Chains A and B, each alone.
Chain A
Amino acid sequence: MNNYGWMQTIVFFAVLLAAVKPFGAYLARVFRGERTFLSPLLVPCENLLYRVCGVDRDEEMPWRRYALSLILFNLAGGAVLFAIMLLQGALPYNPQKLASFPWQLALNSAVSFMTNTNWQAYSGETSASYFTQMFGFTVHNFLSAATGIVVAIATIRGFVRHRTDLIGNFHVDLTRCILYVLLPVSLLVAPLLVSQGVIQNLSPYKKVPLVQPLTYEKAKVDDGGNAVRDAHGNAVTERVTVREVTVPMGPVASQEVIKELGTNGGGFFNANSAHPYENPTPFTNLIEAFLMLLIGASLTYTFGEMAGNTRQGWAILAVMLAILVLAVGINYAAESAGNPLVAKLGVHQVNLEGKETRFGLAGTALFSSATTGTSCGAVNAMHDSMTPLGGMVPLSLILLSEVVVGGVGTGLYTMIAFVVIAVFVAGLMIGRTPEFLGKKIEVREMWMSIVTVMTSGVLVLFFTTLALWTPQAIASMANPGAHGLSEILYAFASMSNNNGSAFAGLAANTLFYNLTGSLAMLVGRFAPIVASLAMAGSLAGKKYVPPSLGTLPTDKVPFALWLSLVILVVGALTFFPALSLGPIVEHVTMLGGK
């Protein structure tokens, strides 16, 4: 740990905090349909889109209609993406002549990008053509982000509106979200990333001569692609000299920016944001982490402003950032303390396995916490190679349902569900009718909040257990013992919570993980969305109850502490046993020098 590392972290969070109010207020204007400084430019485009697509902008929807339009939109998108990957070999913008995806991998990847997960069981540079990256992945990075955001906005409207069943127009919300928020920021920041070295082109991959040619032993394969073995059953190898290498190219910057801004996280390349062409400098590292947190953090202000109580927004943000900053600190400290088993060999103690020199430990701690505190899942380091406690930080942030600050939109609606639960439990303890923002919290709201909060936990434990019963699933572990359990736990935590990062040693491109993962991602995405919209519909129909002496103030410090406690306790009760068997056992083993 050094002072520069802390300074970089402090400046980062200060800039983020400074952006919350202006950006959050802007979001509120966008979703209330008000004029913004971009309106002169965008209103004509918006009107044209509505006319061409047949959208009636003045017609609002009850929650069921909103949810159905949203699901139809996403399923249509997922189906087209699935088709693009299956037909990739026959489509244009494919200078490397990459073959089509096998169906189960295409299915997993389509579900993954549609649900804002961006779990990747393929590696981009050898599997995905520019057409797939642009018309498939880039498009879905925008659409799935917008989907999450509009659900959060609709949920807010449930608290703000009274005695109505209307929670907004899905088509209008979606269109305004993309035109006024996601697209302008992307167009602004993409050139900035390019200036630092992120590539952006449609050229074929480049052949580059090596300054020093190298030789290696390559396993020989026959025409059928099987390893050739000698009489003793050993693999036959041949000596290969490499004089030039192939460097992949592509439209990276345009995808990189929305991948972070929309908390999608799917890397253009296999190494994701650790790749020098995706994240070339320490500065781009901070920009990318900033983009991940920007919308999620700002939406708390949007919530406060739309609900007429900005203190409420700040209280929620305070809880989020407190947990996030703590996570950054723990990861930074654990990786600095390093791996005693390596230090013993005559090496400095800091753990740099699976990390990039340019980011350092501070930049890595910040990025890995931001990417798992949100639902992003982009990685600038290999979480699998972190120390046991360091690696437990991203894992735990995902298991806490990604509410610090959460995926775009998903973070806020999940956090609101936690607030509802906290209010309800507190109400039981002090013997008052639970209320939040002037709305009575009743059985229906509790049910919907429980579904929102607990779906992922149930999925994680169910599928992890299933994997541990399945020999083929266990065979995918890359590391033995407790660490292998962490890999499987992380995989299902990541997919159920739509994160997409991995303890990437796990060989996940198998029928078992592709199919169970698809199911986990779908349920983990849409069950909370439908529950949140249902809660919004139910709340919007209620009358406003003015606060009385007996109302629990939800915008003050005691409630913020209570809310943090509820989040941590729900997480701990659900996952403590699994965490003890994975990372905690491994930590003890490591200290014991085994």
Chain B
Amino acid sequence: MKDMRPTLMLFIAFTLILGGAYPLIVTGIAELAFPSQASGSFVADAGGVSAGSRLIGQHFTGAKYFWPRPSATEDFPYNPMASGGSNAGPTNPDYLKTVAQRVRAYRESGVTHTLPSELVQASASGLDPDISPQGAAIQAERVARARGMKTADLGRLIAAHTQGRQLGFIGEPRVNVLELNLALDAMK
């Protein structure tokens, strides 16, 4: 078959162009133009020590930190090596028990409001760095009590860390939990 040679040669040529040249060119452009984003959007804490990526959530428990969304990653919550969701179906009895437990944890921390869904439902990536501004607001009283601060001060901190919709209408308003907690630690 005389088409054999051009067919196979094209495959080899495109493997080199698309698998080698193309990603390397994009890497070059990315590292020149957006070095911080290209390497993972890492942030430093108040002391200048690397404290993780602003895009990859971390797990926080205990009263003095804002709690992020539940995470269903394997081994432990917010395991960046095991991104993924619970894949629980909406009528799965085990899943409903888990949600009920999470609701109880918030009730025990003194929250009486109807809970924003994201606080008790696990994210798709298991690494979701954000919660809604409402989700942060209902935790403010607990954090204020634990740190001996004023709830109103925390309200202002949350507002300062709230990212609005992009271009005014895309997506949902959100608060980055890691950055909010780092700011809290920086305040003391």
Contacts and interface: CB of A to CB of B under 8 A. Distances in A.
Interface stretch (A154-162, A203-211, A420-428, A440-448): A203-211
Contacts of B100: 345
Interface in A262-280: 269-271, 274-277, 280
B110 interface: no
Interface stretch (A171-179, A493-501, A565-573): A171-179
A455 interface: no
A356 B117 contact: no
B98 to A, nearest CB: 10
Interface stretch (A23-31, A324-332, A335-343, A403-411): A335-343
Interface stretch (B27-35, B140-148, B153-161): B27-35
Contacts of B171: 8, 281-283, 285, 358-360, 363
Interface bracket on B: 35 or more
B79 A245 contact: yes
B11 A251 contact: no
B14 A218 contact: no
A191 B35 CA distance: 11
A490 to B, nearest CB: 11
A350 B130 CA distance: 17
Interface string B145-187: 0000000000000000000011101111010001001100100
B87 A187 contact: no
Interface string A108-139: 00000000000000010110000000111011
Contact of B90 (A142, A216, A385): A385
Contact of B9 (A54, A346, A480): A54
Interface in B95-152: 95-96, 99-100, 103, 107, 114-118, 120-132
B75 A216 contact: yes
Contact of A143 (B14, B99, B129): B14
B30 A191 contact: yes
Contacts of A452: none
A594 interface: yes
Interface bracket on A: 35 or more
Given A49-B13, A218-B75, A341-B90, A197 B55 contact: yes
Contacts of A270: 82-84
Interface in B71-102: 75-93, 95-96, 99-100
Interface stretch (A72-80, A524-532, A550-558): A72-80
Contact of B20 (A72, A134, A282): A134
A481 interface: yes
A341 B7 contact: no
Interface in B1-34: 1, 3-11, 13-15, 17-20, 22-23, 25-27, 29-31, 33-34
Contacts of A49: 10, 13
Contacts of A171: 3, 6-7, 10
A191 B33 contact: yes
A590 interface: yes
Interface in A69-110: 69, 72-73, 76-77, 80
Given A247-B80, A282-B170, A254 B22 contact: yes
A464 interface: no
Given A255-B23, A282-B166, A347 B5 contact: no
